[in-house]
Amino acid sequence: MEEKRDEEARQAAKFFIISNTEVACRIQSTLDIDVWRSSEAFYNLISYLNDVSTEVQGVLSSASFPVSENIRRLTTIFDKLDEIVTSSPPAFQVVDTMASASLDLGNKGYRRFSRIMLRDIYQILEEALPVNKCSYVNELGQYLSGAFGSSTKIEYGTGHELSFLFFMCGLFEAKILRREQDLAASALILFDRYLKFVRRMQVLYSVVSANCQGAYGLDKFQFVPYIWGAAQLCHGAPFSPQKMLDENIVEEYKTEYMLIDCVRHVYDTAGGSFARHSSQLWSLAALSSWMKIHRGLMFMYMEDILLDFDSLSALRFGELMPFEKAKSGRQLGNARLGAISPVRCQLRTSRLGTPMNSKLKLSPRKDNVYSDALSNSGLSLGSECSSLSGVSVNLPTWMEEDSPNTK
């Protein structure tokens, strides 16, 4: 009997050692950025971004492809977060014209959502993970809870998006998701579900952008969907980059390509001339190929986001995404673009007779894993594109050397 109790005690001690592995913010000053660039977490992140880019090229967002049970379970996280948002409506606020314009720009109803989310997120995550992987709830939960913005300033930015990327990388490192079957679905289903949820949150609570570039940035809130959206178009694109901002193209392909859905969202939520409120995105349309756009976006992401102290200061590291130096000889590599992806091959050979633009078909379940938030917004397109007259656009150095005439 005593031996049995000792064994149970040892098992309990082992569980708490694993589940309470310290997860902490490690980038305390700009001096830590060089350590971050050589860390295991940095290499894991870049490898994941490139592997997904390779996997999704030529694959439509609405295509039918295999979806694992773990991906299904993870998408239910956002169904439950949607319920929290529904139960936390925007607060009624009286506008004080005498108050400083820099204070309380967002709706305070967001803080109620944030409190409930932080209270429930670990239990929600535990229910979505396989039973034998629950020892990772602590670390994955901290990455996930940091992916929905700051309740103090009621703001959201690419640093919070980066925290969700850490969450997804952690899922692969913990072997909850598997690279051979879940890479494409992690971007086109799980990340897309996250994207639709945070867009709902941003609009409902008037969340302020934490990004500092303003009109000279790529997007007020997001960056990664542009990278993966450009990768989708690197094989078999039905239109050229010069057409990416055309309203007819946006309307036709907004459900097929992640990048075009992002452009559609900018149209819906930003007022005025496209060239003025999104000049960097406007400039990308001057490039001659989708591969050049993808290469440029990866360069921008690594320089403007992954080396930006403000984006990194709240980022946490742990066992799955270590801050320790990467193993000697490990190379960052690049996405393998311009060739048909394994998923596209699978769709051609194993789903004969299924149109490439058909809706994703999931196995029947008792409960619907996907909420209405998965469907694209029914909002009409906003302001029309206008010319660049009166607008000064500075192209980055990687764009200047091979930027063609758009006419």
Q: What is the DSSP letter of 358?
A: S
Q: Which residues contact 273 (CB under 8 A, 6 or more apart)?
A: 383, 385, 386, 391
User: Do residues 135 and 18 touch, judged by C-beta distance below 8 A?
Assistant: yes
Please say whether the beta carbons of 201 and 148 come within 8 A: yes
Under the banding of pLDDT at 50, 70 and 90, the label for residue 21 is low
Going through 188-277 in order, the beta strands assigned E by DSSP cover: 208-209
Tokens of 277: 């409120």
Token output for 399: 């764009």
How many CA atoms are closer than 13 Å to the CA of 347, on its beta-carbon side?
A: 24
The region, left, alpha or beta by phi > 0 then psi within -120 to 50, assigned to residue 405 is beta
Q: Is the dihedral of CA 295, 300, 303, 308 positive or negative?
A: negative
Task: Give me 272's structure tokens.
Answer: 């005025």
Confidence of residue 318 (pLDDT cuts 50, 70, 90): very high
Residue extents of the structural domains in the chain: 28-90+107-323
Within 20-102, where are the H helices? 32-37, 40-56, 69-86
CB 288 within 8 A of CB 244: no
Mean pLDDT of the chain: 81
Three-class DSSP category at 245 = coil
Per-residue model confidence (pLDDT) at position 288: 86
The model's pTM is 0.80
- Which range (17-21, 41-45, 161-165) has the least confidence? 17-21
CB 317 within 8 A of CB 36: no
Q: Look up residue 43 and give its two tokens.
A: 């290499």
Residues with Cβ within 8 Å of residue 93, at least 6 apart in sequence: 104, 107, 108
Tokens of 252: 């036709």
Nearest by Cα to 267 from 388, 157, 377, 107: 377
Pair of tokens at residue 370: 């996907």
Structure tokens at 151: 């309740």
Question: In this predicted structure, what is the pLDDT of residue 350?
Answer: 59
Q: How confident is the model at residue 7 (pLDDT cuts 50, 70, 90)?
A: low
Q: What is the pLDDT of residue 329?
A: 79
Angle at 168 between CA 197 and CA 305, to 5 degrees: 80
Alpha helix locations (H) across 233-341?
Answer: 247-253, 258-269, 274-277, 279-284, 290-300, 309-312
Measured distance CA(233)–CA(260) in Å, rounded: 10
Give the count of beta carbons closer than 10 Å to the beta carbon of residue 63: 22
| Range from 97-111, 158-172, 271-285, 343-357 carrying the lowest mean pLDDT | 343-357
Which two tokens mark 195?
């994207």
Question: Does the pLDDT of residue 342 top 90, yes or no?
Answer: no
pLDDT-derived band at 41 (thresholds 50, 70, 90) equals: very high
CB 384 within 8 A of CB 91: no
CB 81 within 8 A of CB 378: no
Confidence of residue 330 (pLDDT cuts 50, 70, 90): confident
Q: How far is CA 382 from CA 87, 244, 267, 285, 321, in A?
A: 29, 15, 5, 19, 40
Which residue would you say has higher pLDDT here, 367 or 308?
A: 308
We find that the CATH architecture of domain 28-90+107-323 is: Up-down Bundle (1.20)
Scanning the structure block, which residue is given the tokens 């949150």? 201
Q: Please identify which residue in the block is written with the tokens 């295509």.
A: 63
The Cα 267–Cα 247 span in angstroms is: 9
pLDDT band at 261 (very low <50, low <70, confident <90, very high): very high
